[in-house]
Every structure is written in C-alpha cells, then in structure tokens.
Homo-oligomer: A and B are copies of this chain.
Amino acid sequence: MSATVAPHSSDSVTLMGAGLVGSLLALYMARRGHSVDVFERRPDPRLAGPVEGRSINLALSDRGWRALEGVGIGDEIRRVAIPMYRRVMHDAKGQLTFQPYGQDNQAIYSVSRGGLNRTLLELAEAEPGVTLHFNQQCLHVGLKERELHLRDAATGQEQVRPFQRLFGTDGAFSAVRTAMQKTDRYNYSQSYLEYGYKELNIAPAADGTWQLEKNALHIWPRGQYMMIALPNLDGSFTCTLFFPYEGKHSFAALQTPAQVQEFFAEVFPDAAPLMPELIEDFFQNPTGSLVTVRCFPWAFDDDVLLLGDASHAIVPFYGQGMNAGFEDCTVLSQLMDEHGNDWHTIFQEFQRQRKPNADAMADLAIYNFEEMRDRVADPRFLLQKKIESKISAQYPDQWLPLYSQVTFSPDTPYAEALANGQRQERIMRKLMKHIEAEADFDKPEVQELVHHEMGRIAD
C-alpha cells in the first residue's frame, strides 16, 4: 500500500464533522502541511445567528487548553472565557455553601459552544489547504472503497467523494462509526441515563451585570435531580436542569406553565425570580438525552479513525467531553511526531492508548452526576473535601485530589486518575471515621493514620 501513499507533507486528509473536535483537528492537520477537506452535516454556524438552546455550556479545563495551545490559539480563546474558581451550592432555602475547585488560581472556564466552534472554524479556514463543506449529510461510508457518499442538504444533490484518510469527528451519532459498526466483531454500546436535560436562562441585571456570583459554577443539588448555571459574557447564566424523564419530579410530571412555575418557585426559590423566560424556555427548548457511547476498534485499517464523541461520547457531569476530544487531537499529533507517516502505527497506538482512558472518563462522568446532584449538599461530603485538601497540602507530591487530576492536569491519563481516586476514596473512608470537624485533622491519631497511609502509597 505504501507505494500509493503520497509523501508525508502532502497527505490529503478528510474529516467528517466540523464541530469542536473536527474544527480543531482541521487546524492541527493543516499546520502539519496536510490538505484538509472537512464535511459537515449542518449549515455554516457562522452564517446563522447563534443557535443555542440545545447545548450545555462548556467548561474548558487544562487538557482543553493544552490542545488549543498546541496550535497557538489559547490566548485568543481565553479572551472570551470566564474563569470559575468554585462550586456554589444553593440549598432549597437559597442558602449558599462553597467548594473551591482547586488551589489558588485554578479554575475551569465557561465558554459558549457556538462561539468556540465559530472561532475554530474561522481559524481553520484561514489556513492554506483547508476547505470546509457545509450542508453535507453523510449517507454512507464505503470503508473498503474509501468513499464518502454525501447529500447536499440545501440542493439535494448527491456526490461520492473518495478519501485517502478519513477522520470521523461527527459526534455521538457518528455516521462514520455506523459504517464501522457493520464490520465483523465490532464492539459497541450506547447507554442512556433515565434523565434528560433542558437549557434555561438566568437574565442579566438591568445594568448588564451578573445576578449570581460571576466566577463560579452554580449548583442546585436536589438529590434525584439538579440544576446548574454557568456564566456568560453578557451577564446572563446558562442554566441546565438535569431531570428524570418519569416519576414524581420529572419532565412527565410538569405539563403546564403553572406546574413549572410552582415547581421552580418551590425547589429553586432563589433562582426562579431571576428567570423571566422560564416558561418559554421550558416548553420551547428541546429535552436533550444523555448517552454514553463505547466502541472498539476506533480505527479501520490505516484508512479511517474515530475521534471525540464519535468514539467516546460521555455524559457532561465532569465537564470533560470536549476536553477529552481535544486531548485526542493532542495525542494524535504527538503520535504523528513520533511515527511520521506510518499511519498504521499511529492509528493502532492511538486507539491502544486512548481507549482505556476514554472508558475511565465515561465512568467518572457518570459518577460525578451522583456527586453533583446529591453529595455536594451533604456537610459530611464537604468536610471530607476540606480534609482531603489538607492532606494534599501536607503531602503535595503524594496526594492530588481526583478532581484536580482530571481537571487541572494537562496529561495525567484518565485511567490513572480514576485508579488513584479509588485508592484515595478507600483511605478517606477510614479517615473520616475519626473526624467530626475540620480541626480533628490535627489530632495525633488522625495524623498517624494519614502518615501510615502515605507510607503505604510510597511503597
């Protein structure tokens, strides 16, 4: 096959999907000198007005920043991102409690999915050799024939486009993956939570400022459901209600404007008055579903590779979906540095390295839903987090909290973070039996136990 492959610097690559991962990957490929064709099912988002209403606000964290900086665009994105330094929990009486995300100036950053995507598309299109094709629905992928069958959604015209190397960056419902699913012995699963989500809005104050603490991620944890809010640049917050489809408190149970208004006034009493468009938003915005997709392999020969949600769609509760997809770009780029145009090795290594990390992240994301909707409302949980933070300060080389390993590490593999987190949780369970208040951390028996456990970790 190598006889037909063009020299490294001029390999032609095809991307299906111009969302966040697709547009970033286009940039990476273009910077390496490849000519890049990107096909996208939807219209150019830069032409339409901002079409929000279906997207959870995104939280960029260190892995995402690293990938953006890999193509030199970190600063450009940072200008439109809002740092969030802590969780602010709102209880049913409107009382607040707080949980810092990390140390000092560590933050996750609220960005608009649409805004970020438009910026990445601008930057990609400015590169020589990148061509974006919008309104191109993928009807079929001929894996063996190396052909994309496309239909122009505007004109209805169909075309067959050959590809040399195809990257499937077309999201959780990937057409490229659908083709791979039909190959022999393909492992695949799609698993839905029994929760949907609804995007809502907290309006800016009359003077355009933020009606809640700006630099925070707000949570209204209510046990079996929750609402969150992330700040926007215009003074508003984008809220997302994560809510059961069925049951006593559920989408099925809220059918009329009066029911919605009454429910919000009762369970989110401090937020409801700040949501003048609650009823319109609730009934007009679609209810999104929450899917986890796992599959393997991610590569078909050395012709096709899946990245981002196409191979590992996860639920949004750890804020890592986009970050994990961006990290795919970082890892792929490293492998291209190491292995030149040996695409076989690049693709094999990519899926070998990334699959266990994607699986770990999928588990962590589901785990964090429970934490956010339920445990953050528990004083014992918050006390445990404070104690953990003390251990981390005392043994900085031996103890980095799980959240920090996932969020504030630019490259700790997710699988390693998960394993460390599980070991830490076992230790914390022993420790918390001796602790009633923050000051108990300094008790000799607690210090001895901590010291003992740190010794074991060092083994």
Q: Which residues of A contact B (CB under 8 A)?
A: 184-192, 289, 291, 294
Residue in B184, B187, B192, B294 whose beta carbon sits within 8 Å of that of A187 in the complex = B192
- Chain B positions within 8 Å of A190 at CB level: 186-189
Instruction: Label chain A's interface by main secondary structure.
Output: strand
Residue in B184, B187, B192, B289 whose beta carbon sits within 8 Å of that of A191 in the complex = B187
- Chain B positions within 8 Å of A294 at CB level: 189
Q: Given contacts A186-B190, A188-B190, could you give 14 more A-B pairs where the C-beta distance is less than 8 Å?
A: A184-B289, A185-B192, A185-B289, A185-B291, A186-B192, A187-B190, A187-B191, A187-B192, A188-B188, A188-B189, A189-B189, A189-B190, A189-B191, A189-B294
By beta carbon, the residue of chain B nearest A196 is B185
- Chain B positions within 8 Å of A189 at CB level: 188-191, 294
- Chain B positions within 8 Å of A187 at CB level: 190-192
Highest count of chain B CB atoms <10 Å: which of A185, A291, A294? A185
By beta carbon, the residue of chain B nearest A184 is B289
Smallest Cβ distance from A236 to chain B, in angstroms?
Answer: 30
Smallest Cβ distance from A50 to chain B, in angstroms?
Answer: 27
- State A197–B189 Cα separation when bound (angstroms): 23
- State A185–B291 Cα separation when bound (angstroms): 8
- State A184–B245 Cα separation when bound (angstroms): 12
- State A189–B190 Cα separation when bound (angstroms): 6
- Chain B positions within 8 Å of A184 at CB level: 289
Give 6 closest A-B pairs by Cβ, nearest first.
A189-B189, A185-B192, A187-B191, A185-B289, A188-B190, A187-B192
- Chain B positions within 8 Å of A291 at CB level: 185
- Chain B positions within 8 Å of A191 at CB level: 187, 189
- Chain B positions within 8 Å of A192 at CB level: 185-187
- State A15–B338 Cα separation when bound (angstroms): 56
- State A187–B289 Cα separation when bound (angstroms): 12
- State A186–B192 Cα separation when bound (angstroms): 7
Smallest Cβ distance from A385 to chain B, in angstroms?
Answer: 33
- State A294–B189 Cα separation when bound (angstroms): 9
- State A321–B268 Cα separation when bound (angstroms): 50
By beta carbon, the residue of chain B nearest A290 is B185
By beta carbon, the residue of chain B nearest A192 is B185
Smallest Cβ distance from A277 to chain B, in angstroms?
Answer: 27
What are 16 A-B contacts with C-beta separation under 8 Å?
A184-B289, A185-B192, A185-B289, A185-B291, A186-B190, A186-B192, A187-B190, A187-B191, A187-B192, A188-B188, A188-B189, A188-B190, A189-B189, A189-B190, A189-B191, A189-B294
Smallest Cβ distance from A211 to chain B, in angstroms?
Answer: 34
- State A159–B185 Cα separation when bound (angstroms): 31
Smallest Cβ distance from A15 to chain B, in angstroms?
Answer: 26
- Chain B positions within 8 Å of A188 at CB level: 188-190
Smallest Cβ distance from A294 to chain B, in angstroms?
Answer: 8
